[in-house]
Amino acid sequence: MSFVAALLIALAVIGIFLLDRKIEDKQAFYILAASLVLLLVGAWIMFFNLSFEVIQRKAIGIVLTGIGFFLVVKFPSAQEQYHSNSPGFAPTGILIGLICLIAGLYMVLF
C-alpha cells in the first residue's frame, strides 16, 4: 500500500512540474486540480496506514538530512566571510554535517 501512495504522490509532483510549461490557463487548472487530488489521496493512504511514531521518525530524519546537507555543502568558512586563509570551523561543520546527514538518511530509509 505504501508503494501506491508513493506512486500517487510522485505523479502529483510530476503534474505540478508540468505547470511550468507554456500551457493554457484551463489546462493548467485541470493539471493542478488533478495533482492536488493525487497528492491528497497519496497522503491519506500513507498517513493512515502508518503509526504516529513512524511518521515522526521520518519527519525528524528529513529535517536532519536537510541540516546535514546544508552543513556539508554550504557551511560558511572563514575564507568566504573574512578573506583569510584560516579554515576556521569548516572541517568541524562538515564533520557534524556528515553525522547529521548519515543519521537523517538512516532514519528516513529504515
List, in order, residues 6 or more apart from 48 with CB less than 8 Å away.
none
Domains in the chain: boundaries = 1-50, 51-110
How far apart, in whole angstroms, are the C-alpha atoms of residue 22 and residue 24?
7
How far apart, in whole angstroms, are the C-alpha atoms of residue 73 and residue 50?
33
Overall pTM > 0.85: no
Mean pLDDT, rounded, of the chain:
84
The tens digit of pLDDT for each residue in 35-65 reads: 999 999 988 888 787 787 888 898 999 999 9
Question: Which residue intervals of the chain are DSSP H helices?
Answer: 2-18, 25-48, 52-74, 78-82, 90-109
